[in-house]
Amino acid sequence: MTMEKIPRHIAIIMDGNNRWAKQRLLGGVAGHKASVEAVRAAVRRSAELGVEALTLFAFSSENWKRPQEEVSALMELFIWALEKESKRLAKNNLRLRIIGDRTALSSKINKLADEAERLTANNTGMSINVAVNYGGRWDITQAAKVLAEKVAAGELAASNIDESLLDQHTCLSDLPALDLLIRTAGEQRVSNFLLWQLAYAEFWFCEDLWPDFREHHIDQAVAVFNGRDRRFGSRESQ
């Protein structure tokens, strides 16, 4: 297996939790609960390989349309994870950040998220970014709003707005550019995730359901990444 090039930034769309539960005739959010070990495995292996940033799509801005029982259970699971996992991350020198529109989240979740971010803020290891109530279109829109407000206030000339400036106001702008997107469960779409950041990322689609995801899946994805010819718009000869 070739591991010469390690992606600096990996993102994962964690898909297949409900299908995993249905296959086992389990109800409720059994698949989501079973996915905790998959998250741990992805974090462990990515950190071991020297990945600088790992971004996980936990809850999209469209997921509010799901049954209320499932949404409530997911929020409770998120609370549990923040309470239990933040100390583990701090102990292992990992940083945690919650990205997305947090105005729709409960005060308890926001309080725990703030505490977890503060607890891990000074760590120097891999940055783990968990997207909650996140959408790629929202990300670009909120960046555009900030710039529009600066133009309206006379702080910025519209003619000075370029890709670099807009990028500075999107989520994760302080981290390495996204190199590799992984999606599980055989689906091959980006589902409004990191639309701006995905411009030159490599994609790897996995047939296995997210609760079955383990360290060897990261190895497989990185091996495929190593085999890709990344041109960024130029020709191979260049």
- pLDDT digits over 56-65, tens only? 999 999 999 9
Asked if 208 is an active-site residue, the reply is no
17, 18, 63, 226: the catalytic one is: 63
Tell me the per-residue pLDDT of 91-141, one tens digit each, with 9 for 90 and over: 999 999 999 999 999 999 999 999 999 999 999 999 999 999 999 999 999
15, 139, 179, 212: the catalytic one is: 15
> Tokens representing 173?
């702008």
Asked if 63 is an active-site residue, the reply is yes
Contacting residues for 226 by C-beta, under 8 A, at least 6 apart:
2, 3, 4, 5
The full set of domain ranges for the chain reads 9-227
Mean pLDDT, range 29-38, rounded to an integer:
93
CA–CA separation, 203 vs 180, rounded Å? 6
Give pTM, 2 decimals.
Answer: 0.94
236: confidence class by pLDDT, cuts 50, 70, 90: low
2: nearest Cα among 197, 222, 166, 193: 222
> Cβ(54)–Cβ(10) under 8 Å?
yes
Find out if CATH 3.40.1180.10 is the number for domain 9-227: yes
Tell me the per-residue pLDDT of 201-228, one tens digit each, with 9 for 90 and over: 999 999 999 999 999 999 999 999 999 9
> Cβ(53)–Cβ(176) under 8 Å?
yes
